[in-house]
Structure 1
Amino acid sequence: MKKECRVCMHHCALEEGQTGRCRARANKGGTIVCANYGQVTALALDPVEKKPLRRFCPGTKILSVGSFGCNLNCPFCQNHDISMADAGTKRKVFISPEELAGRAQELETEGNIGIAYTYNEPLVGYEYIRDTAALVRKAGLKNVVVTNGSVKEEVLMEVLPFVDAMNIDLKGFTEGYYLMIGGDLETVKRFIRHAVGGCHVELTTLIVPGQNDSAGEMGRLARWVAGIDRKIPLHVTRFFPAFRMADDSPTDVHTVYRLAEAASKHLDYVYTGNC
């Protein structure tokens, strides 16, 4: 029996045994299930600034974990080997929520403050994030979600009670750009508005040459963010060739600085990255 997935804006209608375009959700027995639950493809103790978060627990480290799957299709994805992978990937290993929370506690002696769900799109497997984050919170540690913000508010509300901070990609500020990467700008804007009320939020915009690098677009983006709260940090970051754009040139450093300056007219905290 065909079943519709309601996690994101794609509303994939899946036949029995079929997997959605995110490759992380599937129809099993007439129920949409999390196909990547506990399937870990990447695990590392990172500086929190690498998420990137600049105004949340600076100088600390956080255990970063990723799985497979993503509901966007960015041609410049830096983690395409896992974000574009499916259940067939050989990199995965099962780690239960209890085991992952335990590892986070063991790493406290090395400066770990909690867990960051990152690398692929974590919220396409929100059930694992929710279950693990509840245990991490109970242990007195922190939860960070690094996300493209392209899921429904109902999914956000499943995890937000346990989340201390998010970095959300606001990849551009036109519907055309979001259409190109397989997303929807309004979905992300709604997600950001809801997230800001529940945890610390920082935003990231990757500047891709010829795509979202105009001062006018950055000005509109920054004014919209300021309309929520001008103290929301924005990371303006430099594109490097990767995936389907491996033959392109990196963003000119001066372009990044120029757009960061344009954003600074509206926002109190603007940071440049990869420069």
Structure 2
Amino acid sequence: MVNGLMENGGYAMDLGKKRLFLLDLDGTVYLEETLLPGAAAFFRWAAESGAHVRYLTNNSSRGVEAGLEKMHRLGVPARREEFLTAVEAAIYYLRTRRKAGEAYYVVGTESFCSQLRQAGIDVRCTPDADVAAVLVGFDTELCYQKVEDACRLLFRGADFLATNPDLACPTLYGFMPDCGAICRLIVSAVGREPVYIGKPDPTMIRLALEQTGCAAEEALMVGDRLYTDIACGRNAGVDTVLVLTGEATAADAAASATPPTLICRDMAELLARIQEAQS
């Protein structure tokens, strides 16, 4: 590193110019009820320096209010407007890319379904004949009946949508199946792939840039997954940092078609590099 410039892949990233930090949550900021190393210090630094923070999560199992309450419980002074979730991305997609008034069979938590209904989306709990599409989320309330109903509708010709392709959600004991794994179960039966709405689609990052007035070169996407977090940043044209506290390893990054701009052990190392670049 020279004067805050990080060399990677033949180009330089100036961490000293970053003022919008786009953070994944699970595996990046926390694991279950535990803040990961450096996260608390990073948020203190962001508040003191006036940096913008946005939380970009593909987790559709809970709403923004639940996520906000969790962050406060962990001691993070997050604000509601700082959250951009897979639920909001799904609502935005259904409103802008689908026909008005369509009905959806949702494989998701009651929280997810409730948020969709509050946004005016026609959510069905049975495989009705007029269902236009199956929408799969990270369903921690999954039962086999939902899987069977989804397959029944997809064989009838319903469209196949999903909030995110994440295969595993990190936990303190290891990992649990995420939305992408649930989709793999359905894909193996019906032979069809879903259209994924959340990361790596760049919509959430574009919304964050619009909200904060920051340019792409002033933003930094930080996450633990190459095929969602890092790919999302690359798709949006922003620099990326892979932290090794969740799913991906340094070896995974070296072999990836979507390598990060920078690899850090955790948020603590990232903060140290930012502070050095700004000194």
**TM-score normalised to structure 1 length:** 0.31
* Structure with more of its chain in helix, by fraction: 2
Which of the pair has more CA radius of gyration? 2
Q: Which has the higher contact order (CA 8 A, sep 6+)?
A: 2
